[in-house]
Structure 1
Amino acid sequence: MLADLEELVVCESFSADLDAVARSADVVAAQGARHLGASPERLVIDGVTHLRWTFGTPRVLLLGHHDTVWPIGSLATHPWSVADGIARGPGVFDMKAGLVQLFHALGSLPSLDGVCVLVTGDEEVGSDTSRALIEEVARQCAATFVLEASADGGALKTARKGTSAYELLVRGRAAHSGLEPDKGVNAAVEAAHLILALAGLAEEANTGARDGWRTTVVPTVVKAGSATNTVPAEATVSVDVRVPSLTAQEWVDSAIRGMKSTVPGARVEVRGGPNRPPLEEASSADLFARAGLLAQRLGLGQLSSAAVGGASDGNFTAGLGCPTLDGLGAVGGGAHADDEHVVVAELAPRARLLAALVEEVTR
């Protein structure tokens, strides 16, 4: 497993470098073929390379990605290494170790009938070209297992917040800020009113919400104006929204689209909207219970679960009504950070758990 993990990590696969993603797909395809006994379909959409293995009529989807957030050249500063039971390198935790566990788990099974494996190349940048592929398979399946890295301590991810992204475009009217500011319509002032209103939306959405699992509405990038002596004629406010439920996502979407201007003469246009639906706990409850029984049977101890704010492609499958269990990949930490790492001793046990889950669902 370590040899396979090194093979994937030393082939850098920065999402924005489509040639690098294509090279990574070659390596992943070859490794998967060795373990699964079959070559994948190579699906290139808008230049992004995805891989799919299908065995019979799909009943279970195993989902992962081979792109990473690490720019090409990161191996020079974050080299592959294994020391004191810890493996390090760009993308080792998110999520190349998950792919290795996936291939070894399936390679240990006597039959892969009913299994579909989809390894995408653009998860880290929003899955724009892979979403349709994911949803096409998930509609046919009784379960989806996502090989994203685990939460703290190896916890499986039984809930993920849904995500929405907006850009509020404010149009005002330019004027000289010293000679006749009263003839202008200040888009920056209107943007300030909108930011305060967005904070109020979050407070209203969280009425009665439990601590740690709340809706967040966060203005992020704010731009306004063109010169220091000119009333801003235009401003933009980017907004990141995370929601624990579909009801909350729909409520926030309606509230943002209903926002009105406060500054006379200013106009507000709302762009964007929901991206990933939430993975709600109801979608994972049965699969998590079954995983817990299998873990006990395999001598792996008691499994823990976590609800997390970050989204994954599992949000798409859960949003379609396909039962989804996430976080089945590596145990470790430091995703996207300098201390990204994987606990080597957990690689094989997690692969055994995944193999047992696939057998449970497909038999």
Structure 2
Amino acid sequence: MPFPDLPAMLDDIERLVTRESPSADHAAVAASADTLARIGERLLGAPPDRIVRDGWTHLCWRFGRGPARVLLLGHHDTVWPLGSLTTHPYTVEGDVLRGPGCFDMKAGAVMALHAVAALGDRAGVTILITGDEELGSPSSRALIEDEAAGCAAALVLEASADGGALKTERKGVSLYQVRVKGRAAHAGLEPERGVNATVELAHQILAVAGLADAERGTSVTPTVLSAGTTANTVPADGRFAVDVRVRSAAEQSRVDERMRALESAVEGSVVEVLGGPNRPPMEAESSAALFARAQKVAATLGLAPLTAAAVGGASDGNFTAGAGVPTLDGLGAVGGGAHADTEHVRIGELPGRTALVSALVADLLTDARR
């Protein structure tokens, strides 16, 4: 499997990184999709299906008339607001490429296109690049699951873990908001006539934090908190957000059941729990066989042995794994600093990493056609 042309890849990465695409800006995401579609059409000889859902633009290339066998998955939206190129310009210095969203994950999106372009036979391959992943994929989840259905593998071109490690396990995510209703009263004249939402929130925060289980890798973290209106009023309402990360579906279910069973501790108050599981965990079993196959493919290409990592962050790979499709994540760029001022990509890793994806797809297709 030939390594891709690095200067051509860098040109395409620059085109995409310099087209800013904050997730919440539908127009910016659509413009980014236009840029990515032009790159893909040039490389693949075919335009993508342009799919707009709830204002977000997603791109999908499907090859062959038979069923899809391998899904390459990524996103082109970023967490960086418009104007970030002014403070974080696209630069190439030595072996380091910088720019907003370069590592997470515009370089990976370009790698996916170059990897498939190198294949002699693309029948059975689908490339899906979504535009709302950084927001939790509100419009694209069903699309991802539909495209993954029946596939032998989903390969996620998200950025690598530290040192270029592939991501073989990702925690599942649940997001909640706990709301409390009390009753207002003057805090100085007649506080006894009120029902204090802040006191109720204090009870609930402690109860929620107690659902964590470090031995099982489960974190349950109360985050944003608000209550009341003025300093001399018994608060009549309040709320706090909860971020849950779990390694197993069983833990996700346990926490969900306990969250929904919360009961008020302050007489007269009402507790309401909104939200729930957002992404299922990508458990190690879903990636084990694919990682072993990738190791063999890397050896045939003369690449260094691959390493693996379990990470707390989630991706769209959680959805494919949750749907029962074998999934291998972190196949994208090697670098670091996702979402941070230090975001960067190691240029020298791009050709080998892209060749690995291409050869792995070819290997999977060979098995699927037997």
- Once the two structures are TM-superposed, the CA of residue 140 in structure 1 deviates from its matched residue by 2.0
| Counterpart residue identity of residue 75, structure 2 | H
Cα separation, 2, equivalents of 1:74 and 1:88: 12
Give the AA of the match of 2:300.
Answer: R
Q: Secondary structure at the match of 1:228?
A: coil
| Paired position in structure 1 for 2:30 | 22
Q: State the TM-score, normalized to the length of structure 1.
A: 0.97
> Which secondary structure does the structure 2 equivalent of 1:201 belong to?
coil
Please name the residue that 1:53 is paired with.
Answer: 61
User: Which residue in 1 is equivalent to 2:39?
Assistant: 31
Q: How far does the alpha carbon of each residue in 1:218-243 deviate from its partner, in whole angstroms, 9 at most, with x for none?
A: 00111100111110110101101001
The AA in structure 2 aligned to 1:225 is G
Match of 1:216 in 2: 219
- 2:86 counterpart residue number: 76
Distance across 1 between alignment mates of 2:25 and 2:263: 40
Matches of 1:13 and 1:176, distance apart in 2 = 48
Of the candidates 246, 265, 268, which is equivalent to residue 268 of structure 2? Answer: 265
Could you say what secondary structure the match of 1:185 adopts? coil
Aligned counterparts of 1:314 and 1:290: Cα–Cα separation in 2: 18
Q: Offset at 1:201?
A: 1.1
CA shift digits 1:319-355 (9 cap, x unpaired) = 0000000000000000010010000000000011001
Instruction: Give the corresponding residue for 1:277.
Output: 280
Q: Distance in 1 between matches of 2:179 and 2:209?
A: 17
Q: Where does structure 1 lack aligned partners over 5 or more consecutive residues? A: none
- What aligned pairs does 1:342-361 form with structure 2 within 5 A after superposition? 342-361=345-364
| Structure 1 CA distance for aligned equivalents of residues 231 and 340 of structure 2 | 38
Letter in 1 for 2:293: R
Equivalent of 1:11 in 10, 19, 23? 19
Residue 84 (structure 1) shift: 1.5
Post-superposition offset of 1:360: 1.0
- Structure 2 matches for 1:20-169, cutoff 5 A? 20-56=28-64, 57-169=67-179
Which amino acid counterpart does residue 280 of structure 1 have in structure 2? E
Letter in 2 for 1:22: A
Structure 1 counterpart of 2:240: 237
Deviations, residues 31-67 of structure 1 (Å, cap 9, x unaligned): 0111111100000111111000011221111001000
CA distance in 2, matches of 1:329, 1:77: 25
What amino acid does structure 1 have at the position aligned with 2:331?
L
**How many angstroms apart in 2 are the aligned matches of 1:33 and 1:314?**
25
Match of 1:314 among 310, 313, 317: 317
- 1:176 alignment counterpart: 186
Residue 51 of structure 1 aligns with an amino acid whose one-letter code is: L
Give the whole-Å Cα distance in 1 for the aligned partners of 2:58 and 2:115.
20
Task: Give the alignment partner of residue 324 of structure 1, picking from 324, 327, 333.
Answer: 327
| TM, length-normalised to structure 2 | 0.95
Q: Which runs of 5+ in 2 are unaligned?
A: 1-8
The one-letter code of the counterpart of 1:276 is R
> What residue identity is the alignment partner of 1:304?
T
Deviations 1:163-202 (A, max 9, x none): 0000111011111111111111101000001111112111
Q: Give me the CA root mean square deviation.
A: 0.8
1:133 is displaced (CA, Å) by: 0.5
CA-CA distance at 1:254 after TM superposition:
0.3
**Structure 1: distance between partners of 2:210 and 2:241:** 16
Give the SS at the match of 1:307.
strand
Letter in 2 for 1:297: T
For residue 137 of structure 1, report the CA deviation from its aligned partner: 1.1
**1:23 is aligned with what amino acid?**
A
Residue 227 of structure 1: aligned partner: 230
Structure 1 residue runs of 4 or more that deviate by more than 3 Å after TM superposition: none
* Aligned pairs for 1:185-204 within 5 A: 185-202=195-212
> What is the number of equivalent residue pairs in this alignment?
356
Identity among equivalent pairs (%): 62
Distance of 2:72 and 2:261 partners within structure 1: 39
What amino acid sits opposite 1:47 in the alignment? G
Q: Deviations over 1:74-99 (max 9, x none)?
A: 10111111001100001110001101
Q: C-alpha separation between the residues in 2 aligned to 1:48 and 1:198?
A: 34
